Each structure stands twice: as structure tokens, then as C-alpha cells.
Amino acid sequence: MRAGLALVMFGLMLALPAAAADYAALPGGSFTSVLPADGKAAAAQVAPFRLRTEPVTNAEFLAFVKTHPEWRRDRVARILADQRYLSHWADAETLGSEALPRQPVTRVSWFAAQAYCESEGARLPSWYEWEYAAAADATRRDARSDPAWRENLLAWYSRPSNAPLPDVGGAPNAYGVRDITQPVWEWVDDFNALLVASDSRDQNDPDVLKFCGAGAVSLQEKENYAVLMRIAMLSALKAADTTNNMGFRCAKPE
């Protein structure tokens, strides 16, 4: 009987690996984004939401792949994840020495990140939610005017891209959210909608620079180029792309 109970408990633990993920409550509100809501100057309105305190790790993503085999790297449809998807893992169901359990998972496509969050009863955060959460430092909710905050964001660029990623669990910011600007970049739900030009008829110009330029004209806070570079990076990606440094975390409504 006791063994049976233990088995049930164990089954529950297996079935709900995601229940362990911690979410912090963020109050939201009016937020001055680098990306004006109307393409000109309007502040973004962020509804109260909850955000995963840590990025999704290799161990967590492995548990997901085991219960959702359509996301194994040897089974996933190519249109949903490119060739490099999870290619640093030892095999389809083994992490290995290049992917430690507590390191943030990278080389995941936007589709895979969305599917993971859905399995956790969550979704990807919007760009505004991510930017809002990343505006905090250890003590202040909006530290963006402090040069030290910008330095911290820029420090990402000085980290060699071939250096192993540190484990998740860095110092929390004022919301209790960890690792949001380091060590990985993160997918957001609307990554492919950030630089849509105001006049839709300008779209799909084969001249990519011109296209980016069209969006960039309306970007605010130009001194905040560390954040702007994230927008440029996200906008350059396709939903099936994976990169060495792109991970994700999930969000939930309040």
C-alpha cells in the first residue's frame, strides 16, 4: 500500500515536472519602451503578469522532450526547428557534457519554446513584458537611467560566445527574476512583429537594411542601444531558427 502510494507520488512528480517552476508576480503598468506602442511615441501598457524566475534549463527541456517526443531533435519537423536544434545534446534524449542540467537550454526554436511553455500552462512573454522585467536592477524596478544598468546589459557582449554558459540561478532583480539579461538571450512571443513598418505597403522590401531602417526611425531611447540590439537580433530571426545563445522563459497571466 505504502509502495503503491509512493508509486503514485512518483507518477505525479513525473507528470508535473513543470509544477516546480517558480513564477514571480509583476505588477505591470504604463512603461516607456524603446519600441513605441503606436510606432511613434506612445507608452506600452503592460498588464499584471507572472514571469518565470529562471530561464528554462536543459534538464527541464529534456523532461519536456521525453513527454513530447514530437519535439525530439530526430523527430521534429524541419519547418518548426532548424538543423542545429538541440545539436549540443549528446543525443535525442541525453544531455551529455556540452549541455549540463542546470544550464539554460539554447538552440531551441521559437516554436519549440512556445510548445514548452504551453506544456507548463504558460506562454512566451511579449517583448514589452520582457523589456519591463529587464528594466529592473537588484533594488529598483526601473534602473534604466543608471549607466551601471546599461553597462551590465552590455557586459553580455564581452562574454566569449564559446565560453560555457553558467548555470541558472544568478542574483534576483527587484522582482525576484533571475538571469534575465545574462547569460542568454530570450525568445518573446511577438519576436517577428517588432519592426513592422507603419505603412504596410512598405513591407517585404528585399533590401533588409532599408527595412530595418524603416522601423528604426521610430525607435525611442536611442542611447539604450543594448536593448535596441536585442530587437534587431530578434527581428532578424525566423521562427524555426536556433542559436547558441538564444534560450527562453515563460510567462502567465496574473
Partner 1 sequence: MKRLLSLFAMLLLLGSARAATPLPGDSVYNLKVQLTDQDGRQQTLADRRGRPQLVTMFYTSCQMVCPMIIDSLRLTRNALDPATRAQIDLLAVSMDPARDDVATLKSYAERRKLDPRIWTLARAEPAQVRQLSGVLGLQYRQLPDGEFNHSSELILLDADGRIAARTARIGKLDPEFVEAIRKLVAQPHG
d(CA 111, CA 9): 31
Query: Minimum Å distance from CB 159 to partner 1?
Result: 29
Whole-angstrom distance, CA of residue 253 vs CA of residue 231 = 23
Closest CB to partner 1 among residues 162, 204: 204
Residues of this chain that bind partner 1 (CB under 8 A): 37-39, 42, 45, 77-80, 110-111, 114, 118, 123, 189-190, 192-194, 196-198, 200-201, 203-204, 238-240
Q: Which residues of 104-143 are buried (b: 16+ CB within 10 A; e: fewer)?
A: bbbbbbbbbbbbbbebbebbbbbbbbbbbbbbbbeeeeeb
For residues 156 and 181, is the Cβ–Cβ distance under 8 A? Answer: yes
Residue of 154, 169, 119 whose CA lies nearest to 16: 119
The amino acid present at 203, given as its one-letter code, is: Q
In the complex, minimum distance from the CB of residue 15 to partner 1, in angstroms, rounded to a whole number: 22
Q: How far is the CB of 123 from partner 1 (least distance, A)?
A: 7
User: In whole angstroms, how close is the CB of 77 to partner 1 at the nearest point?
Assistant: 4
Nearest distance in Å: CB 194, partner 1: 7
Cell of 66: 521525453
> What is the C-alpha to C-alpha distance for residues 133 and 190, in angstroms, rounded to an integer?
16
What minimum distance in Å lies between the beta carbon of 52 and partner 1? 17
C-alpha cell at 226: 543594448
Nearest-angstrom CA–CA distance, 15 and 27: 31
Task: Specify the residue, 124 or 227, whose C-beta has the smaller distance to partner 1.
Answer: 124
Return the bridge partners of 31, or none. Answer: 44
For the chain, give the longest Cα–Cα distance.
69
